Amino acid sequence: MQVNEAKIVIVGLGLIGGSLTAALRAKGYRGEIAACDRNPDEVARGRAMGLIDGGGIDLAAQLEGASMIVLAVPVLAMEAVTEKVAAYLPRARPDVVVTDVGSTKAAMRDCVVRVFGRVPPNVVLGHPIAGSEKSGVGAADATLFRDRKVILTPEADADPVALSRVRSLWACCEAEVIEMDVTRHDQVLARTSHLPHLLAFSLVDTLARQDERLDIFRYAAGGFRDFTRIAGSDPVMWRDIFTANRDAVLASLDDFEAGLKRLRRAVSEGDSDAMLATFDRASHARHYFDTLLNKTSYQAEYSMQPQGNVIYRMSPGGSAEGRIRVPGDKSVSHRSIMLGALAEGVTKVTGFLEGEDSLATLQAFREMGVAIEGPHQGRVTIHGVGMRGLKQPAGPLYVGNSGTAMRLFAGLLAGQVFDTELTGDDSLTKRPMGRVADPLRLMGAQIDTAEGGRPPLKIQGGASLKGIDYDMPMASAQVKSCLLLAGLYAEGETRVREPAPTRDHTERMLNGFGYPVERQGDTCWLKGGGALTAGPIDVPSDISSATFFLVAAAITPGSNVVLEHVGINPTRIGVINILKAMGADLTLANEAVVGGEPVADIHIRYAPLKGIDIPTDQVPLAIDEFPALFIAAANAEGTTRLRGAEELRVKESDRIQAMADGLAILGVPHTVVEDGIDIQGNGNADVASYRGGRVDSLGDHRIAMAFAVASLRAAEPIVIDDCANVATSFPNFVELAKRIGMHIEVEGAHG
């Protein structure tokens, strides 16, 4: 990103101003940089370091010819500087842009309004979320803003050209530029930056005034040093920040003091459950937030933190041999947490899927006051709070990329007494939620959605729900489960009729928790007002995850793969039935029923596949498995036809089109229709089935893994972009792919 400013003036040559100039110089900015600072020694040091072309203590002299002015002085000094800038502007260039780096935006906006009478369109306020306990231009760091967020808070009438130029300034420094409302900015920063600094100052000051202070500091461990490091920051700067952002800081301090009071009471009374809930919630929240900050998995709340691109580079060929166990079933993992939280007693879960979607569900219940231990190697212990024991979360519940979590939560939360908001990542906020919101409204729920029935979902608490008879227009286990969960809180009976069979994990698990769910034909129902009783849950391996290795073995000559302890719920075995119909050599062994769910080892070896017309009654039973099945079709002799699969259009991506686009790149003949696709396969095992190429997964984990499997029969390498979300459903996919003999290399955040 290039910065095309003729002359940039930095007002205040401290750490931030100096680092900005250092970053611009490092990126090859050739324009003029001048600085103004009340300390002439700092200006001289900046010139000696090669960061600025000139400068001095007279602001008016430096502003001549400026195309961009960056105010980087302490918050309480901003008004005097802004007045001098305002006095200069009548004779300035007509395209001059003014911005700042202040950490309290309401105070800065008020300052600008006092000086100008309004926020002029060419003034774009901003704040880089970066810093150090060091100060002065001598601490300037050209990498200070790299991969850090810069929050801009433009007014509604801001000049779009001015906004674009300020964005370019920070993008050149390799920062991630986002926009936010001024009030929201100050609230967020009060909690994430200002409050921690206040606590660190207070703790160090408190201990430093005690008689034992020498021993306290002499024997302090790393944790104390890490926490209190920020107490070495500039006292004057932080005095100004706390003064300028007083109201938001006090509000965050009130929240902290309330939490500290609760924890003190728990320690005083020896309330081990309350202590465990607090410590466990905090521990896992810290790990959860790490993924946001480090961009390793989750996208940040409200899309503040985009993920880096993870690329799979697949060499052609490879093998498919071995005995493996894929992660636990995501659908069962979600439901185990939800029902365990609402149960009376302690629920112990084994085989839990430690993927992003399931962890987001865990975190959401922690934020609603549920004590949850783990996960530790697939083991989770949930201290249930009962049907009415959930507490209002402090803010929106973020469910990442999980449509299952959002739709099931909608039903569960519709019956609570408190208001909630459900939000997710970029992909999820594009997916339709009217399919659950509309029938929930028929039950009496109060739900607001964004335009087009999309997230976020805002659910008003205290609604009086009534059971309904609902005929689903489209088969969907998520919609059915949502209504059954709402039915737990509804007066009377909730009945759901499905036009085709869908997965029945919710019904099975409710019965396992002692809550009766009846079924007759295509209709299931339950009565509201009951209770759930805790019990053990053993999560089977996920057949959706197993599918990628089933297809890998089915298309690779000489293959021999065993997948252990896979869930073979009758509502989920469409992939098994379809592969067998195509001629796959697939057998089941060690069949058993564990926790109400049937499981088996699946043994699959290579056999030539043939194209088929996929039976429409199998489509709902394999809806998540079709991306991988499309690859099987591309390696089968003849044409495979799919119809009645319009639901694939509204998954994490339009999976019909996304797969078709990738197949086109590989040279696989196909024809797309509204509700399906025809794929012309190459069943010749002696030659590669298709060429290679570069495929965009569109951030859809199943698209990414499907084309990874395709490489086994490709003539050339396949490069797959945007694979970070594989962690949502299959955290160790790359490890297992390598174990069976696939040639996969990963560039980016995970692997």
Q: What one-character-per-residue DSSP string does 565-611 give?
A: EEE--TTTTHHHHHHHHTT-EEEEEEEEEETTEEEEEEEEE----B-
CA dist 648 and 680 (Å) reads 20
User: Which residue, of 128, 155, 180, is where some domain finishes?
Assistant: 180
User: How buried is 135 (Cβ within 10 angstroms: 0-12 exposed, 13-18 middle, 19+ buried)?
Assistant: middle
Annotated ligand binding at 478? The verdict is yes
Annotated ligand binding at 527? The verdict is no
Q: Tell me the chain's radius of gyration from C-alpha atoms.
A: 29
Residue 2 located in a structural domain: no
What is the percent of the chain where pLDDT is above 90? 68
- Per-residue pLDDT, 302: 27
Annotated ligand binding at 729? The verdict is no
Helix or strand run (H / E) with residue 719: strand 718-721
Annotated ligand binding at 476? The verdict is yes
CATH number at residue 15: 3.40.50.720
Q: Token pair of 183, please?
A: 């009030």
Contact 671, 630 (CB under 8 A): no
CA angle 351, 353, 354 (to 5 degrees): 120
Angle separating helix axes 543-555 and 733-740, nearest 10 degrees: 30
Question: 669 and 658 in one domain?
Answer: yes
Question: 163 and 262 in one domain?
Answer: no
User: Which residue, of 138, 165, 180, is where some domain finishes?
Assistant: 180
Residue 275 located in a structural domain: no
CA angle 684, 686, 692 (to 5 degrees): 80
Query: What pTM was computed for the model?
Result: 0.62
- Per-residue pLDDT, 305: 34
- Per-residue pLDDT, 219: 60
pLDDT bin (cut points 50, 70, 90) of residue 211 is low
Question: 226 and 97 in one domain?
Answer: no
Question: 634 and 512 in one domain?
Answer: no
pLDDT bin (cut points 50, 70, 90) of residue 304 is very low
**DSSP designation for 173:** T
Helix or strand run (H / E) with residue 494: strand 493-497
3-state secondary structure of 144: coil
Annotated ligand binding at 544? The verdict is no
Tell me the per-residue pLDDT of 537-565, one tens digit each, with 9 for 90 and over: 999 999 999 999 999 999 999 999 999 99
10 Å Cβ neighbour count for 251? 15
Annotated ligand binding at 331? The verdict is yes
- Per-residue pLDDT, 706: 98
Question: 67 and 171 in one domain?
Answer: yes
Split into its structural domains, the chain has a count of 4
pLDDT bin (cut points 50, 70, 90) of residue 435 is very high
3-state secondary structure of 672: strand
Q: Is the pLDDT of residue 475 over 50?
A: yes
The residue type of 600 is A
Prior bond of 235 cis (ω within 30°): no
Q: Is the pLDDT of residue 720 over 70?
A: yes
- Which candidate, 251, 311, 418, places its Cα nearest to that of 746? 311
Higher pLDDT, 400 or 118: 118
Most distant CA pair in the chain: distance in Å?
85
Cα 713 to its chain centre, rounded Å, is 33
Contact 697, 723 (CB under 8 A): yes
The pairing of beta strand 560-567 with beta strand 585-594: unpaired
Residue 279 located in a structural domain: no
Question: 640 and 663 in one domain?
Answer: yes
Annotated ligand binding at 702? The verdict is yes
Q: Is the pLDDT of residue 338 over 50?
A: yes
pLDDT bin (cut points 50, 70, 90) of residue 300 is very low
- Label each residue of 430-480 as H, E or C: HCCCHHHHHHHHHCCCEEEEEHHHEEEEEEECCCCCECCEEECCCCCHHHH
Helix or strand run (H / E) with residue 709: helix 701-710
Q: Token pair of 57, please?
A: 């203590």
Question: 697 and 653 in one domain?
Answer: yes
Q: Which pairs from 440-444 meet CB under 8 Å and 24+ separation?
A: 440/410, 440/411, 440/414, 440/482, 440/483, 440/486, 442/468, 442/470, 443/414, 443/467, 443/468, 443/483, 443/486, 443/487, 443/490, 443/494, 444/490
Question: 547 and 480 in one domain?
Answer: no
Residue 18's φ and ψ, nearest 5 degrees, are -65, -40
Question: 547 and 505 in one domain?
Answer: no
- Which candidate, 593, 523, 480, 532, places its Cα nearest to that of 338? 532
DSSP-based helix, strand, coil % in the chain, nearest 5: 45, 20, 35
CA dist 425 and 294 (Å) reads 16
**For the sheet containing 693-696, what is the strand order?**
693-696, 718-721, 311-318, 742-747
**DSSP designation for 153:** -
- Per-residue pLDDT, 299: 30
Lowest mean pLDDT across 98-102, 253-257, 548-552, 575-579? 253-257
CATH number at residue 246: 1.10.3660.10
Q: Which residues of 260-285 are buried (b: 16+ CB within 10 A; e: fewer)?
A: eeebeebeeeeeeebebbbebbeebe
- Per-residue pLDDT, 542: 93
Residue 61 located in a structural domain: yes
- Per-residue pLDDT, 307: 45
Q: Is the pLDDT of residue 569 over 90?
A: yes
CA dist 39 and 268 (Å) reads 53
pLDDT bin (cut points 50, 70, 90) of residue 289 is low
Higher pLDDT, 729 or 467: 467
Residue 288 located in a structural domain: no
Residue 714's φ and ψ, nearest 5 degrees, are -90, 155
10 Å Cβ neighbour count for 697? 28
Tell me the per-residue pLDDT of 573-621, one tens digit each, with 9 for 90 and over: 999 999 999 999 999 999 998 877 899 999 999 999 999 999 999 999 9
Annotated ligand binding at 624? The verdict is yes
Contact 335, 362 (CB under 8 A): no
User: Which residue, of 538, 555, 575, is where some domain finishes?
Assistant: 538
Residue 742 located in a structural domain: yes
Q: Which of 37, 240, 601, 624 is catalytic?
A: 624
- Per-residue pLDDT, 405: 92
DSSP string, 16-65: HHHHHHHHHHHTT--SEEEEE-S-HHHHHHHHHTTS-SEEES-HHHHHTT
Q: Is the pLDDT of residue 165 over 60?
A: yes
Q: Is the pLDDT of residue 298 over 70?
A: no
Tell me the per-residue pLDDT of 683-699, one tens digit each, with 9 for 90 and over: 999 999 999 999 999 99
- Per-residue pLDDT, 425: 81
Q: Is the pLDDT of residue 216 over 70?
A: no
Question: 741 and 593 in one domain?
Answer: yes
Q: Is the pLDDT of residue 728 over 90?
A: no
Residue 438's φ and ψ, nearest 5 degrees, are -65, -50
CA dist 561 and 550 (Å) reads 8
Annotated ligand binding at 265? The verdict is no
Told to judge if 141 belongs to the known catalytic residues of this protein, a careful annotator would answer no
Residue 297 located in a structural domain: no
3-state secondary structure of 491: strand
Contact 380, 361 (CB under 8 A): no
pLDDT bin (cut points 50, 70, 90) of residue 229 is confident
- Label each residue of 344-406 as H, E or C: ECEEEEECCCCCHHHHHHHHHHHHCCCEEEEEECCEEEEECCCCCCCCCCCCCEECCCCHHHH
CATH number at residue 446: 3.65.10.10
**452, 458, 463, 469 alpha-carbon torsion, rounded to 10°:** 40
Lowest mean pLDDT across 240-249, 261-270, 731-740? 240-249
Question: 703 and 691 in one domain?
Answer: yes
The residue type of 25 is R
Question: 673 and 556 in one domain?
Answer: yes
Residue 261 located in a structural domain: yes
- Which candidate, 177, 169, 142, places its Cα nearest to that of 23? 142
Tell me the per-residue pLDDT of 27-50, one tens digit each, with 9 for 90 and over: 999 899 999 999 999 999 999 999
**Domain span at 214:** 187-270
Cα 341 to its chain centre, rounded Å, is 22
What does the pLDDT average to over 697-725? 95
Average pLDDT over all residues of the chain: 90
